[in-house]
Structure 1
Amino acid sequence: MKASDFDKKFDDGEDIIEHLDLSNVKRPMQKTKRVNVDFPAWMLDSLDREANRVGVTRQSIIKVWLAERIENLHSHHLKHG
């Protein structure tokens, strides 16, 4: 397929996934490492309630909240030197 044909399909909103070789795709900065963290029972209860409320797992809510906190710290440091 010519690049111009591929671009047109993409621009027209057509599904192009079948034209891609995803066998070696890597997501930068997404390598995972396992950690063990002990939380007090009350904190796990709160995490579970919030995770259930938004329909995600406990692990997901922890990762999202940590990512938000880290992003806020980076943003704050960039603004204030």
Structure 2
Amino acid sequence: MNFELDRKFDQGEESILEYFDLSNAERVNLQQTKVNIDLPQWMIRALDREASRLSVARQNDG
């Protein structure tokens, strides 16, 4: 079963959610931590373009 599920997922054949019981699904470890990092300017520009494409702020809180 696992091999078949992996194959279907990898090949994008169908939604695999039908194979899972989502009635008890939980999201864990969602606490956010703020970090400061130094990135090259080209990467900041790329992040800004992607944020614009997604209509979100670069410093989006969620």
Instruction: Indicate the TM-score class for this superposition, using the shorter chain for normalisation.
Output: 0.3 to 0.5
Q: Between Structure 1 and Structure 2, which shows a larger proportion of helix residues?
A: 1
Q: Please, what TM-score do these two structures have when normalized by structure 1? A: 0.36
Q: Please, what TM-score do these two structures have when normalized by structure 2? A: 0.45
